[in-house]
């Protein structure tokens, strides 16, 4: 289940809650004041388990963010797309 962030319109309290995809604020109350006037906040997300800097180094890439085109790896002869 995803973690959603809400902000209370009454007291400004921000809190997180695990909810099923697509569920809204219906039935939720603020963890600070108990009000039901909540706004869902935009937030970022994180993932884990993907290929990262270690996989890049193992493939011979020294600087994945050097500004070269996707898959170029700064001319080091490897392809980020093949690592990822």
15-37 pLDDT, tens digit per residue, is: 999 988 888 889 999 999 999 99
Taking residues 48-69, report their average pLDDT.
56
Instruction: Say if 48 falls within a structural domain.
Output: no
The answer as to whether 45 is a domain residue is no
pLDDT at position 59? 57
- Tokens 């219906």 map to which residue? 26
- Same-domain pairing of 8 and 36: yes
- Rounded Cα distance between 63 and 28, Å, is 46
Q: Does 10 share its domain with 35?
A: yes
Domain hosting residue 11, numbered range: 3-40
How much is the pLDDT for 35? 96
- Indicate the number of domains in the chain: 2
Helices (H), the chain: 53-58, 80-83
Same domain, 59 and 32: no
pTM of the model: 0.50
**Residue 47 counted as domain residue:** no
Determine the pLDDT at residue 49.
Answer: 59
Give the whole-number percent of the chain exceeding pLDDT 70: 51
* 14 domain-assigned: yes
């Amino acid at each position: 289940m995803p973690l959603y962030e809400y902000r209370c319109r009454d007291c400004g309290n921000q809190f997180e809650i695990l909810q099923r995809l697509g569920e809204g604020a219906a039935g939720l109350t603020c963890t600070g004041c108990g009000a039901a006037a909540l706004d869902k906040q935009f937030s970022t997300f994180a993932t884990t388990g993907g290929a990262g800097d270690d996989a890049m180094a193992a493939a011979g890439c020294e600087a994945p963010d050097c500004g070269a085109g996707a898959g170029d790896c700064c001319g080091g002869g490897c392809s980020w797309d093949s690592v990822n």
